[in-house]
Amino acid sequence: MAIFKGAGVAIITPMNEDGTVNFDKLGELIDFQLENGTDAIIICGTTGEASTLTHEEHLACIEYAVGRVNGRAPVIAGTGSNCTETAVYLSREAEKYGADALLVVTPYYNKATQKGLVNHFGTIAESVRIPIVLYNVPSRTGCNILPATVVEMAEKYSNIVAIKEASGNISQVAELAHLAAGKIDIYSGNDDQIVPLLSLGGIGVISVLSNVAPQQTHDIVASYLAGDVKESARLQLAALPLIGQLFCEVNPIPVKAAMNLLGWNVGPLRAPLTTIEDAHLEKLRLAMKDYGLNVQ
C-alpha cells in the first residue's frame, strides 16, 4: 500500500528572529496544510533547511510534527545524510518518535558509486521497520540513483517502497517506471513536472508549491488520478509562472519569502542562505498575485 497518494508538502521550518525554530508557527502551518487538502507532511527535508538544523533541532521538529498531525495524515521525516551512520541514527530516532515513513536523500558532497548507494540505503533500511522513500536530486547532491539501482534496492529491501524523483530527467523516470513495473512508487520532486510524472505511473508529488498553494497542488494530482487529465494539465500549466519564481533562487529562499508575503511571518533563513534579491522578490510578488494568492 502506498504511503500516500496526492500532494505531500515539503514543509518549511519557520524560525524566530533569533534563528531558533518557531514551533508555534510550525504547528499553525501544519494545521493550514491539513485543512487545505495536503495529503502528507514531509518534515525536515531540503525545504525545511534540515542541513543547518542541529540533530537535536532536527529530531525535535520530527517529534513535534508527529504530535501535531496526530494521525490526520502520514508524516514523512527527512533523515538523510552523507554519513551512513548519521542517517541510521536519525532514521531510528524518527521511527521511535512515530514517523510513518522516512525520506532519505542520496549522499551529498562525498557522493557514492551505485554499489555504495545500495550499501548506504540498504544499511538504513535494515536499521528500521518503517517505509523508506529514496530521494534522488542530483542537482543538489551531485549523485544520481540510476533506475536499475532503484529497482535492485526495491527488490532487496522490502521497506524501500518509493522514490522522490527530482532529477528532472523524464527519460530516466520513464526507464525507471519501465524497469520497476510497479515495484516502487514514484513521486515527483519537481513541481513543474507533476503531470508528466503522473503520466508515467507516478502517484503524487512532494511539493514546494504546496507551502503557498496546498489545495491547488492537491487538485493537480487529484484531478489526474480521478481521470480528468485535461483539468490536471490546466492546473499544472496555470501554476508554472509561480513555480518558476519559487525557484528563481535556491530553495527554500523564495518559498520562505513567499510565505512572508502571505503574512505567515515565518522568519529568516539560516546561513549560508540569504535574503531574496529585491528584483526577484518583486517578480515573486507579481507571480503570486497573478496566481490569485492574497499577497500582503
| CATH number of the domain to which 68 belongs | 3.20.20.70
Residue 239 lies in a domain: no
Count of other CB atoms within 10 angstroms of residue 274: 11
Task: State the cell numbers at 37.
Answer: 487538502
Q: Could you give the CA distance from residue 146 to residue 227 in angstroms, rounded to a whole number? A: 30
Residue 260 lies in a domain: no
The two most distant CA atoms of the chain are separated, in Å, by 51
Strands 75-78 and 101-105: parallel
What are the φ/ψ torsions at residue 165 (nearest 5 degrees)? -100, 110
The C-alpha R_g of the chain, in whole angstroms, comes to 18
Q: Where would I find the H helices in 147-228? A: 147-156, 170-180, 194-199, 214-225
The pLDDT > 90 percentage for the chain reads 99
Task: State the cell numbers at 125.
Answer: 533500511
Residue matched to cell numbers 496546498: 214
Residue 142 lies in a domain: yes
Residue matched to cell numbers 522516512: 102
Q: Could you give the CA distance from residue 77 to residue 98 in angstroms, rounded to a whole number? A: 10
Residue 128 lies in a domain: yes
Segment holding 246, helix H or strand E: helix 229-246
Using DSSP's 3-state secondary structure scheme, residue 128 falls into: coil
Residue 68 lies in a domain: yes
For the entire predicted model, the pTM comes to: 0.97
What are the φ/ψ torsions at residue 260 (nearest 5 degrees)? -70, -35
Using DSSP's 3-state secondary structure scheme, residue 8 falls into: strand
Q: Could you give the CA distance from residue 39 to residue 206 in angstroms, rounded to a whole number? A: 10
The pLDDT > 70 percentage for the chain reads 100
pLDDT digits (tens, 9 = 90+) for 13-43: 999 999 999 999 999 999 999 999 999 999 9
Residue 233 lies in a domain: no
pLDDT band at 190 (very low <50, low <70, confident <90, very high): very high
Catalytic machinery residues: 135, 164
Segment holding 41, helix H or strand E: strand 40-43
CB 157 within 8 A of CB 126: yes
CB 1 within 8 A of CB 182: no
pLDDT digits (tens, 9 = 90+) for 112-156: 999 999 999 999 999 999 999 999 999 999 999 999 999 999 999
Q: Could you give the CA distance from residue 233 to residue 108 in angstroms, rounded to a whole number? A: 33
Q: Could you give the CA distance from residue 249 to residue 79 in angstroms, rounded to a whole number? A: 24
Residue 241 lies in a domain: no
pLDDT for the residue numbered 235: 98
Using DSSP's 3-state secondary structure scheme, residue 21 falls into: strand
Residue 290 lies in a domain: no
Q: Could you give the CA distance from residue 206 to residue 203 in angstroms, rounded to a whole number? A: 10
Mean pLDDT to the nearest integer, 228-255: 98
pLDDT for the residue numbered 1: 85
C-alpha angle 158/163/167, rounded to 5°? 150
Domain tally, the chain: 1
pLDDT for the residue numbered 252: 98
- Domain interval for residue 134: 6-228
